[in-house]
Structure 1
Amino acid sequence: MGRWAQDTAQACRALAPSVGLPIADALDAIAARAVATPAIVVTGPVSSGKSTLVNALVGRRVAPTGAGECTRLTARYVRGPVDRLDVVLADGSRRPLPLAEGGRVPAAVGDRLGVDPADVDHLLVSLTSDALDGLTVVDTPGAGSARRPRGPARGSTDAAESALVVLPPTARPDEIAGFAGAARHGPAGVVAVLGRADTVGSEPDAAGVAEVLSRRLGDRLGPVTPVVGLLAETATTGALRTADLAALRVLAADPGVDGALLDPELFVTAPLSADPATRTRLLELLDRRGIALALALLRERPDAGVGDVCAALLAASGLDRVVERLRVEVRGRADLLAARAAERRVAALADAERAAVRAERRRAPGREAGPDLTRLTDLVEDLRARPLHLDLALVEAATRHRSGALALPDELAGELDLLVAPGPLPARLGVPPTELAGHAARRAAAWRAVATWGTPPAQADVADAVHRGWARVWGELTG
């Protein structure tokens, strides 16, 4: 973790000896979380394709998937030396449980352990997957689930620093509050995707729907990327076997297969060269779009292997764009996101202490607040005064602009992108380092004027952030 997460952890640990034991323990936990492996919570409505996408991201078919609601408990997927499932109960105790056939998380955990599912806080799934190096993935029950965890912290979803929001084509702004973590993290800490993009039509159709969602929800979630989770899962988890490829090769030579692919039931029941059970499995792995893609590839390249088919599926799935966004927007900003999440947890701790003080005053009117609340409040104010909030403001403005939800003049958008882009600023500007301080001072003055004089409020806020960004560059260069 970087300077801001370390700074937050140090501030929490410095205060801990000065407050009561319960608050001190909470501050130590916040400090430890700030510098731990970053976590991303995967959230969205029931049957949006969340768990299929989780499997694609971790490279294993481990999360239960299928029609209807499959994710009944929050599951945390972490890197480990062996594949292992632990059930973490509400009291903090753990019980090991074997993974189901095929290495999947069993659907009925409570039945297997003989415990009430309401007593289970979350599942901890350790996997020997390189995809989990440096990132924890948290899969949650869908919004609207009858089995959603009780309370906002149930299942440890608040321990996530960012969110991967899987959206249906009809998502509305008022639904976002129901997606675990989305409201807390966005838009700088959110990667939003159109799940099951193949259900809305062709690839251009899916791109159009994603663009509409971006404009509709971009203020909260940023840009929306279309993804076909099933193709991504099959391509990345090794689910496609040599026998499946042999069946696809036989079907590619069958003249009746293209007509049968017009309907899933027809594909299974039509008199084709592969048996119905094999065709059913192919539908489960690839759906009709993936089967059509594989058949086209095999007709063009009869010698194509499993790896070639998986590469084509992966390219068609859109997962590469999602992974790139995770690399840039989650891993690349891990320090900022962890520091902001830790600050939010300290503020929640202060709010809880404030509520306890109010309750105590109702019992004993006139009683003064103790020093713990004052020290916590001071810590919150100190954390909120840090320059990292300027970085977050710039990133969030750029994210809203890319989504189409925030219209900006080209010059302002260009300077905003310049300030948030990675790498040394002189190289990006094309300005010699010796001239950078003067350039920063001129740009700061120019954007201060834009922010002050007659600019629409939304654009004025961005211009003010750009002004402060250049002013900070000037200050760092001149001391």
Structure 2
Amino acid sequence: MMPSGIAGATELLGLARDAFHDDAEALAVLDELDARLAGPLRIAVAGMVKAGKSTLLNAIIGEEIAPTDAGECTRIVTWYRFGHTPRITLYPLTGEPKGLPVTRVDGRLVFTLGEVRPEEVERLVVDWPAASLRDLTLIDTPGIASLSQEVSARSTAFLLPEDSPAAADAVIYLMRHLHASDVRFLESFKDTAAGQPGTVNALAVLSRADEIGAGRIDSLISAAVIAERYSKDQNLRPLALGVVPVAGLLAQSSRTMRQSDAEALQLLAHMDRNSRERLMLSVDRFVRGDGPGQLDPETKSSLVNRFGLFGIRLGVALIRGGTNNPTDLAHELARRSGLGQLLDTVEHLFQTRADALKARAAVVGVEALVREALVRGAPKERAAPVEAALERLQAGAHEFRELKLLADLRTGGVGLGSAASVEAERLVGGRGSSPALRLGLARDADDRLISETARDSLQRWRLVAENPLTEPRAVEACRVVMRSCEAMMVPTAAVR
């Protein structure tokens, strides 16, 4: 029996390399799949035009290196990955890669394509020494449903390739409201290549959440209510693992806060309350209105462009409540923006199961490679050992069975009752892959409690599986859940 996860995928790639040792094209594909297994998880940031993708990406990275204007580089797929030295590499559709100058203006990274047109570029790769990129490669994509068909098609082709695995292991999908085009995209992204009927590896973000409450200080509360409603929507729930509200502009600015920003907010906090409230009735009044005397219109315009009225109001309220240290203020603004919840959700939904997601990409890649090799005339007997290994890996890899069951539970059920379905989804990692999250325990639960709870869950699900009234499809679901419970008991056997 083949090992599962990364080990199984590595063995599969070795078999494929032996089978196609004299096929340069196949070996190049296998080199890419090997690098993908060894590298960090890849997460694409996608959404319609003006959804705030680049702004949120900057917030996650903690630096302003993704262009947020409507310039030519927002029309290009751009990878952000960890590198010890800042570097920008342009990969053209034809020809050799070329380096671009690394230039920063007013704290922002500036991209200059020179004489190359955006439509001639396959992708840009930005290597950057940001700690947040050590375990995560982020991919910024052009807007979906753009007025430019070429720009929209670029994103669709990258995220939804026809004959190869998606370049991203998961997607953070930004939306301002739930539109039919959002649902159509997520339906397409749902991976059906490694385990039917499709695996769910998307997280929806209600971006620009501060706009929902018209910039009021309680806007994020209103946004959280809407996000919760969306997460239960019958059209969206089968397609996304959750919906998180984030005020992207505030998240970016709080993570890149300058001393001048903190000083400006301090001046506003010490204004007369009535004067300050009148000043912040609208953006125009804030920029052009009187006071405080030390802030000129240009400075106020910069402040509102960076934080929005919501961020300014929240910053002032925090300062008046006693948060005066600029570092503490930045951390609290980032937390209140929803960024912390988003990062936690990404970590427990995607990063904790990175091996399974990367292994699945390798399986899909090898399947596509074998199909293509056969089309190009490779002997069937050469591909036979690889096809057999693929079948064994897909049948025996518990990680894939979990992903398949998770999709089944979200797209129509498996014959279990509603309460049992909710528990099954949690136990197979639908709310996070760590044992504590799977078992509904506190994050700091000790090994003994985890082992005992897993054993209790295993016994309970065994009874369900053995019940003669349980439907056959539900029995198979029970077996997957039971295997998940057993896996959570193994590492803690020493404590019993």
Q: Could you tell me the TM-score, scaled by structure 2's length?
A: 0.79
C-alpha distance in 2, partners of 1:42/1:180?
Answer: 16
SS at match of 1:193: strand
Residues 286-435 of structure 1: matches in 2 within 5 Å?
286-301=307-322, 304-353=324-373, 356=376, 370-372=380-382, 374-387=384-397, 388-396=399-407, 400=410, 409-418=418-427, 420=429, 422-423=434-435, 427-428=448-449, 431=452
Equivalent residues of 2:15, 2:385 under 8 A apart: no
Matched, 1:32 2:35: yes
Deviation of 1:378 after TM superposition, in Å, equals: 3.4
Shift of 1:50: 0.8
How far apart, CA to CA, are the structure 1 residues paired with 2:66 and 2:121? 17
- Is residue 189 from structure 1 mapped to residue 201 from structure 2 by the alignment? yes
Shift of 1:199: 1.2
Offset, 1:474: 6.8
- CA distance in structure 2 between the aligned counterparts of 1:315 and 1:93, rounded to whole angstroms: 43
Q: For 1:85, what is the secondary structure of its paired residue?
A: strand
Q: CA deviation at 1:73?
A: 0.7
> What's the offset of the Cα at 1:262?
2.0
Shift of 1:440: 3.9
For 1:446, give the aligned amino acid. V
Deviation at 1:242, TM superposition (A): 2.4
2:172 corresponds to 1:152: no
Which segments of 5 or more consecutive residues in structure 1 lack a partner in the other structure? 358-367, 454-459
Q: Which amino acid is 2:205 matched to? A: V
Aligned-residue identity in percent? 27
Q: Does residue 279 in structure 1 map to residue 300 in structure 2?
A: yes
Give, in angstroms, the shift of residue 132 of structure 1.
0.8
The answer on whether the counterparts of 2:220 and 2:337 sit within 8 Å (CA) in structure 1 is no
SS of corresponding position for 2:462: helix
C-alpha distance in 2, partners of 1:99/1:53? Answer: 21
Instruction: Give yes or no for the alignment of 1:18 onto 2:16.
Output: no
Deviates more, 1:183-192 or 1:326-335: 183-192
Distance 1:23 1:69, change over 3 A: closer
- Provide the C-alpha distance between the structure 2 equivalents of 1:152 and 1:46, rounded to a whole number of angstroms: 16
Which of 75, 78, 81 in structure 2 is aligned with 1:75?
78
**Aligned to 1:222, which of 241, 244, 251?**
241
Report the RMSD for the aligned CA atoms in angstroms.
3.6
* Contact 1:412–1:463 (8 Å) recurs in 2: no
Task: Please say if 1:200 is aligned against 2:212.
Answer: yes
Aligned partners of 2:187, 2:484: CA distance in 1, in Å? 35
Greater CA deviation, 374-383 or 271-280? 374-383
Whether contact under 8 Å (2:159, 2:167) holds in the other structure is: no
1:35-88 Cα distance to aligned partner (Å, 9 max, x none): 322211111111111111100111110111147997211111111112221112
- Provide the C-alpha distance between the structure 2 equivalents of 1:432 and 1:232, rounded to a whole number of angstroms: 37
What SS does the corresponding residue of 1:221 show, helix, strand or coil? coil
Contact 2:159 2:168 in 1 (8 A): no
Residue of structure 2 equivalent to 1:231: 250
Q: In the alignment, which residue of structure 2 is the partner of 1:9?
A: 10
- The answer as to whether partners of 1:63 and 1:105 remain within 8 angstroms in 2 is yes
Map of 2:47 onto structure 1: 44
Partner Cα separation in structure 2 for residue 446 and residue 277 of structure 1: 67
Counterparts of 1:262 and 1:450, CA distance in 2: 66
Q: Which runs of 5+ in 2 are unaligned?
A: 193-197, 214-218, 440-446, 491-496
TM-score normalised according to structure 1 size: 0.81
Normalized per residue, which structure has more helix?
1
Give 1:86's aligned residue.
Answer: 89
Give the CA deviation at 1:271.
Answer: 2.1
Tell me the secondary structure at the aligned position of residue 158 of structure 1: coil
Distance 2:299 2:212 in 1: 26
| Partner deviation per Cα, 1:348-396 (whole Å, 9 max, x = no partner) | 3334345556xxxxxxxxxx96445545543442332123222223555
Q: Which residue of 449, 468, 475 maps to 2:480?
A: 468
Indicate whether 1:447 and 2:460 are aligned: no
